[in-house]
Structure 1
Amino acid sequence: MLNTQYPTFKTATAKNFARFKARGNNIRAVDTALKAYWDEMNGAADATREIACLNEIVLACKDWLKLKQGKSEFRTTTFTRTEEVRTLFIARRTAITNLGTEALRELYTRLQALGILTADLRGRIHFDSHKLAVLGSGAMVGARANNVKALQPMGADYQNERTSYLMSGKTQAISGSGVHATHTYVSRGIATNQDIGLPRDPGARQAIQAAAAKNVHNLTMEDFQILDQIGRQNMTSGDVNYLNKSERLRYIAIVGADGKLHDCNDQRITTQDRDVTAYAMDNYGTLYAKDADPLGGAMFFNHSSFNAGKDVISAGIVTIKDGALRTIDNNSGHYKPTRDNLHNCLEVLSSEGLNLQWTIVNLYVWVNGVKQEHRYYASDFLNDPNGRPFRIT
């Protein structure tokens, strides 16, 4: 049962200064959800209704926090002073964050006690806990309450991947990796006068040649589609998996009470030596990991797959043995994470209690045009990401 009573919450979030005392529509949604919960609990509530009410509280709290995300605390209105608005804003954000987090914990406890905590629900609760923490911190999305770092978008040569996904109504994404491969295939074929199956139509042929002549970083969406079309004919291009919200939860990696990484079935994760295991950490600090095998007939599964091409904290390759994170790097051609991105990822995992005692960090950097691997012990990298690695290859 929640500790937060409805009258206590309403008092903690009330206006004490304005001419008009009415509460806005957004916070009234939180009021309604919390009041409904206590109405049920003070009556003959059954488990189904209690769980539904807790869900409504979490949803209302997330909606309020997301709506206020990025808005300044320093605002004024016709009837109030800046400091009064700021005080109320912070009080409401704090109370709503605490309420949402408490409701989420109670939801987890009730589902577990009833034996109905499914893998999907465990993943969703873990994701929502991260989202509440970030939205409630007052920092921009993707930043923790401390150790704020910028998110990493996909490179310019991959942005059309996300654009194609949105243009399709979020049903299909053209692989940037496939277009890259096709660009190389076509440009080399043209340069060496090879028969690469260019169409006979002069206009179509000219369009392909013009796209291939461009730097791959400067392709327009039209160029991207043209190269993809010929790539599909030559088996060098195709779709890339872009996971929706429910699909990505299957690949969530959760830090357990034992300091190890667990999957959504609460089993310790072990990656396979024969497979490359990609990871990405989304803007709320949720970690996802999966082998690179594509799903559902797609041709590619890439780092962009986890978060549907949106910005990430970091991405790369991991190895995990019986839940222990053995290695982690920033080796992602899509996102090209920086030193700070990888460091921020480790900070998030460390703050959640992941045991990094045996973890090796492989930082990839470019030195005079040459890609180097700088190897660190995780503890050393966390303490000083700019320190000297114990090995350079």
Structure 2
Amino acid sequence: MLNTQYQTFKTATDKRHTVFTARGNNIREVDTALRAYWTEMNGAANATREIACLNNIVIACKDWLKLKQGKSETRTTTFTRTEEVRTLFIARRTAITNLGTEALRELYTRLQALGILTADLRGRIHFDSHKLAVLGSGRHVGARAPNVKPLKPMGADYQNERISYLMSNKTQAISGSGVHGTHEFINKGLATNQDIELPRDPLRRQEALAVAAKDVHTLTMEDFQILDEIGRQNFVSGDVNYLNKSERLQYIAIVGADGTLYDCHDQKITAGAVTAYAMDNYGTLYTKDATPLGGATFFNHSSFNAGKDVISAGTLIIKDGALRVIDNNSGHYKPTRDNLHNCLQVLESEGLNLQWTTVNLYVWVAGVKQEHRYYAREFLRDPNGRPFRIT
């Protein structure tokens, strides 16, 4: 049962030293959810209603924190023009974060005790715990990790992939990999006089050749669509999977109490050398092989977070839950040294055992791609240190 009583919460989050005592609509949503829970628990408690009440508390807390995300902890006073701390805002943010986390923990315990903690629910609770921690920290990413770095967006040559997804009302995404492949396919074919199926209409054909002559990093959305059309005709391009919020939870990787990685079914993960991963803006890790889902042609690093920014992405190897290798080898995101370092910081802060983990950092030196290999603990201590191997 929750330790936080309604009146205790209300007192901790009320305006003090002022005649104005009204509470806004946003925090009243949290009040209502917490009051409903205690009304239920002080009566003839019903397990179904209790779980619903706990879930409503979590939702209300997340909504309040999301609404206040980015709000400054200080403000300039109207008359004296001096900076003052928003003590009430900070107190409310702390209390609501703690309440949401406590409700989420109680929800997990109750679902587990009742034997109804499904894989979907386990993944959702893990995701929400990360989201609450980040939103409640007043920062945008990696709340549990020190020295938080900026997120990494997809490269300019892949941004149209995300745009096509939004243009389709989030129903399909044109694969950037397919478009890149088509661009290369046309240029190689023209150079070697191979038979390439191009549009028969002279104007459309000329348009396609003009697009193929462009630098792949400068393609417009219209260029993207033209190349995609040609790529599909030549079986080079197609759709890329973009997972929605519920779909991606089945590929979540959860750090267990023993310091190893578990899937949403509470089974230790084993993943091979071609297994992709991405860590979203809340520090949630997802991992899956590259096999496309449904009718899509590609499954890429952008698939996990629907093309949105990430902390890092690449490939990894996991054996019986133990993270053995992790890298930054993602063409879509091209994570930096700092991005990969931040990813390791988040995992370490979650309690992941990195004793046997090797970090493969890919860097470009004089136009040549090199692999710099580190022991994870050494990389965490000094990401700019000397690797033990360079290939």
TM-score range, shorter-chain basis?
Answer: over 0.9
Per mean C-alpha deviation after superposition, the further-off stretch among 195-204 and 112-121 is 195-204
Q: What do residues 328-368 of structure 1 show as CA deviations (whole Å, max 9, x unaligned)? A: 00000000000000000000010111011100000000000
2:359 to 358, 361, 384: 361
For residue 176 of structure 1, report the CA deviation from its aligned partner. Answer: 0.2
Say whether residues 1:228 and 2:228 are aligned partners.
yes
Q: Which residue of 2 aligns with 1:241?
A: 241
Q: Which residue of 2 aligns with 1:179?
A: 179
Per mean C-alpha deviation after superposition, the further-off stretch among 47-56 and 196-205 is 196-205
Q: Distance in 2 between matches of 1:94 and 1:84?
A: 18
Aligned length, in residue pairs: 391
Q: What do residues 19-39 of structure 1 show as CA deviations (whole Å, max 9, x unaligned)? A: 422111100000000000000
Q: Which residue of 2 aligns with 1:188?
A: 188
Q: 1:380 to 1:85 in 2, by over 3 A?
A: closer
Q: Which residue of 1 aligns with 2:66?
A: 66
Q: Which residue of 2 aligns with 1:307?
A: 305
For residue 151 of structure 1, report the CA deviation from its aligned partner. Answer: 0.3
Following superposition of structure 1 onto structure 2, how do residues 267-286 of structure 1 map, counting pairs within 5 Å? Answer: 267-272=267-272, 276-286=274-284
8 Å CA contact retained: 2:145, 2:345: no
Q: Distance in 1 between matches of 2:310 and 2:125?
A: 20
Q: What do residues 80-105 of structure 1 show as CA deviations (whole Å, max 9, x unaligned)? A: 99777610110000000000000000
Q: Distance in 2 between matches of 1:349 and 1:184?
A: 37
Q: 1:257 to 1:76 in 2, by over 3 A?
A: same
For residue 144 of structure 1, report the CA deviation from its aligned partner. Answer: 4.4
Q: Distance in 1 between matches of 2:342 and 2:141?
A: 14
Q: 1:169 to 1:230 in 2, by over 3 A?
A: same
Q: Distance in 1 between matches of 2:96 and 2:18?
A: 21
Structure 2 counterpart of 1:250, which letter?
A: Q
Q: Which residue of 1 aligns with 2:384?
A: 386
For residue 42 of structure 1, report the CA deviation from its aligned partner. Answer: 0.6
Q: Which residue of 1 aligns with 2:110?
A: 110
Q: Which residue of 2 aligns with 1:292?
A: 290
8 Å CA contact retained: 1:142, 1:151: no
Q: Which residue of 1 aligns with 2:87?
A: 87
Structure 2 counterpart of 1:300, which letter?
A: F
Q: What do residues 276-319 of structure 1 show as CA deviations (whole Å, max 9, x unaligned)? A: 10000000000000011111021100000000000000000000
SS class of match (1:280): strand
Per mean C-alpha deviation after superposition, the further-off stretch among 138-147 and 105-114 is 138-147
8 Å CA contact retained: 1:74, 1:82: no
8 Å CA contact retained: 1:54, 1:104: yes
For residue 72 of structure 1, report the CA deviation from its aligned partner. Answer: 1.2
Gap regions ≥5 residues in structure 1: none
Per mean C-alpha deviation after superposition, the further-off stretch among 192-201 and 37-46 is 192-201
For residue 195 of structure 1, report the CA deviation from its aligned partner. Answer: 2.8
Q: What do residues 102-157 of structure 1 show as CA deviations (whole Å, max 9, x unaligned)? A: 00000000000000000000000000000000000011245546321100000000
For residue 202 of structure 1, report the CA deviation from its aligned partner. Answer: 1.6
Q: Which residue of 1 aligns with 2:318?
A: 320
Q: Which residue of 2 aligns with 1:204?
A: 204
Q: Which residue of 1 aligns with 2:138?
A: 138
SS class of match (2:288): strand
8 Å CA contact retained: 2:133, 2:143: no
- TM-score for the superposition, normalised by structure 1: 0.96
Per mean C-alpha deviation after superposition, the further-off stretch among 71-80 and 163-172 is 71-80
RMSD (Å), alpha carbons: 1.6
Structure 2 counterpart of 1:337, which letter?
A: P
For residue 71 of structure 1, report the CA deviation from its aligned partner. Answer: 1.3
Q: Distance in 2 between matches of 1:215 and 1:17?
A: 63
8 Å CA contact retained: 1:328, 1:362: yes
SS class of match (1:75): strand
Q: Distance in 1 between matches of 2:366 and 2:250?
A: 40
SS class of match (1:254): strand
SS class of match (1:23): coil
Q: What do residues 32-79 of structure 1 show as CA deviations (whole Å, max 9, x unaligned)? A: 000000000111111001000000000000000000001112235769
Q: 1:48 to 1:358 in 2, by over 3 A?
A: same
Q: Which residue of 1 aligns with 2:32?
A: 32
Q: Distance in 2 between matches of 1:8 and 1:40?
A: 17
Q: Distance in 2 between matches of 1:225 and 1:11?
A: 57
Q: Which residue of 1 aligns with 2:337?
A: 339
Gap regions ≥5 residues in structure 2: none
8 Å CA contact retained: 1:137, 1:145: no
Say whether residues 1:2 and 2:37 are aligned partners.
no
Q: Distance in 1 between matches of 2:319 and 2:81?
A: 56
Q: Distance in 2 between matches of 1:264 and 1:80?
A: 54
Q: Distance in 1 between matches of 2:110 and 2:184?
A: 55
Q: Distance in 2 between matches of 1:84 and 1:240?
A: 49
